[in-house]
Amino acid sequence: MCNHFESDRTIMVLNNTVVQLSERLPLSGEWTFSDLLKDTRVRERWEKVRKYFFLRESTYDMATRCNMRCDGCYYYNGEKQFTEENLDPAAWRDLFHQEKARGITFVVLAGAEPSLVPDLLQACYDEIPLGCIATNGLRRIPESVGYKIHISVWGNDETSSRVRKAKNLLKKQVDNYAGDPRAAFVYTFCRNNIDEAQEVVEIMASNKCKITFNMFSAPLNYSGELSHTGETLDKTRTVMLDLMDRYPESVLFSHYNAVVHTHTSSLYRLFSCPYPRMNPSAAFGLGRSFRQYRTDLTWDRDAACCVPDTDCNDCRHYAAGSSIVTSKLNRHTAHPEAFKSWLDYVDTYLAVWVKGYEKGENLCSHREQPPGF
């Protein structure tokens, strides 16, 4: 489905950085960490985001069923769609009890459509109350499930009708979630829907909804019409930045988000990937703690990442980025603008993923390139 984020490898990295801060060791360039924090706004933002470095995530497929059928859905690619559903709330409660004991503090409930199993969502929430649900928004999730809720938007209603086989989808999504503090809408840019983003963001703004941006990232062996080209990556970046500037109350995004997610190189090529699927080390961080559970409560280390069966060489997914980019603090301490960009990215991801977290004003107002590119 359409979800997810980061975890404790950040803590390892950040703990190292705290040591560097206290010892005033130079970082990768001429700057010490203390130098980077001399700007009051930067120091305050650092203090704000570092409170959340305890987050340690895993993800869970809640149902193999979906009330939609979208072109390019990664859930219905690969083996995970064929597992049995475990519909026993007690079994999920037990699993989450064990997950809590394992140190998991943030859960992402996704694929295929979690709103079809509200009793399971409630059981999960009662055990681990911090997390997020990725849903298509057709069916409202009960308020007693207090997770953040991401509602996937792939274009205007005409496009949704064509690509997702759903009529009046945006209206139904807004009717279900406008005014709900749990909700963040997620607009996925693909090759064909770039011009529709304006219309969708206007609707979001007029309904006082929050929205962030995602990039279509092709499932393995995908050959459909949604994949980006160099030209559509450029165009998407321009539209993202324009909408971010014009609708600051509605759009949760930063310049750096736009730069790294529309780069010609995928996130994997820019930063590598800490998820078990692409990270053989189980010694620390996500490689040690992250699991991607299927609906029968099994998991497979070789397939475990936030968007399984997505092609790493096309991975620009917002959920992947919120782990991949966030975990690369050390790469972003080379100079103040890189660090500010990284802080904007982390501030954005927390506002998108953590209920009650308010995004601050972006610190960096230009298109800083990823370090080394």
Residue that has been written with the tokens 């801060």 in this structure: 21
Q: Which of 141, 273, 346, 364 binds ligand SF4 (CB under 6 A)?
A: 273
CB 248 within 8 A of CB 201: no
Is residue 7 involved in binding ligand SF4 (CB under 6 A)? no
Contact letters for ligand SF4, residues 13-52 (x by CB under 6 A): ----------------------------------------
Closest alpha carbon to 254 in 352, 351, 365, 372 = 365
Q: Which tokens sit at 105?
A: 């503090």
Q: Do residues 340 and 365 lie in contact, with contact meaning Cβ atoms separated by under 8 Å?
A: no
Output the smallest distance, CB 65 to ligand SF4, in A: 9
Can you say how many angstroms the Cα of residue 219 is from the centroid of all Cα atoms in its chain?
Answer: 17
175: its two tokens: 């009717």
Question: Given the rule CB under 6 A, which of 65-73, 77-85, 96-104, 234-242 is the region that contacts ligand SF4?
Answer: 65-73
Question: Which run of H or of E encompasses 211?
Answer: strand 211-215
Return the residues of window 295-324 that contact ligand SF4 according to CB under 6 A.
Answer: 305-307, 310, 312, 315, 320
Bridge partners of 132, per DSSP, are 108, 148
**CB 317, min distance to ligand SF4, A:** 6
Rank residues 105 and 217 by Cβ distance to ligand SF4 and give the closer one.
217
Q: How far is the CB of 135 from ligand SF4 (least distance, A)?
A: 8
Residue 354: closest CA among 43, 48, 113 = 48
268 binds ligand SF4 (CB under 6 A): yes
Distance CA 332, CA 329 (A): 5
**3 counts as binding ligand SF4 under rule CB under 6 A:** no
- Which of 12/68 has CB closer to ligand SF4? 68
Is residue 113 involved in binding ligand SF4 (CB under 6 A)? yes
> Contacting ligand SF4 (CB under 6 A), which of 111, 131, 285, 287?
111
Tokens of 168: 């009046």
Question: How many beta carbons lie within 10 A of that of residue 80, not counting itself?
Answer: 24
Q: Which residues bind ligand SF4 (CB under 6 A)?
A: 1-2, 66, 68-70, 73, 75, 111-113, 136, 164, 267-268, 273, 275, 277-278, 305-307, 310, 312, 315, 320
